[in-house]
Amino acid sequence: MSAVTANIVPLRHARPGVVAYVKSPDEWFVANSGWIQGSEGVALIDTCGTEQATLELVRDVRKYAPESAKRLTVVVTHAHGEHHNGVGVALRDGGTVLAAPESVEVVKAGPQTYGNVFTCTQWGVLEPPEPAAVRPVVGWRRLDLGDAVADVVAVPGTAHTAGDLVVYEPRSGTLFTGDLVFIGSTPMAVHGSIPGWLDALAWLQDTFRPRTLVPGHGPVATPGHSAVHAMRVYLEWLLEATSRNRDFSKLATQASLRWPTWRNPERHIGNLMRAYADQHGRKLDVDLAIDAVIAAAGGRIDLDYLLGAEPARQIS
């Protein structure tokens, strides 16, 4: 398979500089990042899943912000490996990490490679960050980057996970949503809550009303309301479909037919299992749901094939 491409998308050239780092194709362990640059610091939103991809990301940050990147704050939108595995790599020259309280211990523990789900030989050297560098964000925290600010905001309740953050740059109206929003690929809900995710999307729109939305996966959306609406339609369908039906395989086939262009349709079955558990007062066996996803994918997922060689970079 061809290499993953990192598209450097400048969203604001004047200070604060705002850049979306959009990865394609949107596959397993391929996720977006980005950064907000002031005169005295940079907020890097998420890292990458492998050492090499994170080194490329940090290299590009330093190229765009050679001085301010010396004071680096990494914001982890949630504790899934494709977003936080590279934190230790990004902070080899120092810096701090911000995460939701529920994600802090996972980030401190270091990279997640999910050996039961993936086969991969490309992880590289992925060290955990210094524990003292990882700090929790409760509520709303404003980072002063020098002539620029980045608002780091904890998502109320459980949504995509139990510990989600979003990052907002008010001058450009840019919102980095993490995995609250997927565009063009099937979301992954097994570690979260479908009703909670719907509540979080309503909160997102009421709180920010962004002009530009950078999703955790997929292309930048301007404006962002249509992408949020598409997420709501899917999550509401999951609840409706499982209200009286637990034939998850049949429902997953229906989902694939209803959203035929979305990548990673094997995720539907896990999402349906989550939706059924959420609305029927059941505790989801997450391992069982992951096993169903792996079975739908035809077995463990070969990341060496999906990730290809080193990431190529393009500037939009």
Count of Cβ atoms closer than 10 Å to residue 63 Cβ: 10
45-58 mean pLDDT: 96
**pLDDT score of 14:** 63
The fold adopted by the segment(s) 5-315 is Metallo-beta-lactamase; Chain A (3.60.15)
Q: What is the pLDDT of residues 99-116, one digit of tens each?
A: 999 999 999 999 999 999
Element of type H or E holding 33: strand 33-37
How many CB atoms are located within 10 Å of the residue 101 CB? 13
Determine the Cα–Cα distance for residues 132 and 163; give it in Å rounded to an integer.
19
User: How many Å apart are CA 40 and CA 24, to the nearest integer?
Assistant: 31
pLDDT digit string (tens) for 175-229? Answer: 999 999 999 999 999 999 999 999 999 999 999 989 999 999 999 998 778 899 9
| pTM of the full structure | 0.95
Q: Report the alpha-carbon distance of residue 134 to residue 104 in Å, rounded.
A: 7
On the CB side of 275, how many CA atoms lie within 13 Å of its CA? 26
- Confidence at residue 291, expressed as pLDDT on a 0 to 100 scale: 98
Q: Is the pLDDT of residue 131 over 90?
A: yes
Q: How far apart are CA 258 and CA 127, in angstroms?
A: 41
> How large is the average pLDDT for residues 226-242?
97
* Separation in Å, CA 167 to CA 23, 67, 284: 18, 22, 30
What pLDDT score was predicted for residue 310?
46
The torsion angle over the Cα atoms of residues 82, 19, 57 and 111, rounded to 10 degrees, is: -30
How confident is the model at residue 15, as a pLDDT?
67
For residue 314, pLDDT over 80 is answered with: no
Q: At a CB cut-off of 8 Å and minimum separation 6, what does 253 contact?
A: none
Please give the angle made by the CA atoms of 156, 12 and 145, to the nearest 5 degrees: 60
pLDDT band at residue 315 using 50, 70 and 90 as cut-offs: low
Contact 39, 192 (CB under 8 A): no
Question: By C-alpha distance, which of 63, 2, 55, 53 is closest to 32?
Answer: 53
Q: How far apart are alpha carbons 169 and 186 in whole angstroms?
A: 27
DSSP 171-197: TTTEEEEEEEEESSB----TTS-HHHH
Q: Tally the residues of the chain.
A: 316
Q: Which of helix, strand or coil describes residue 118?
A: strand
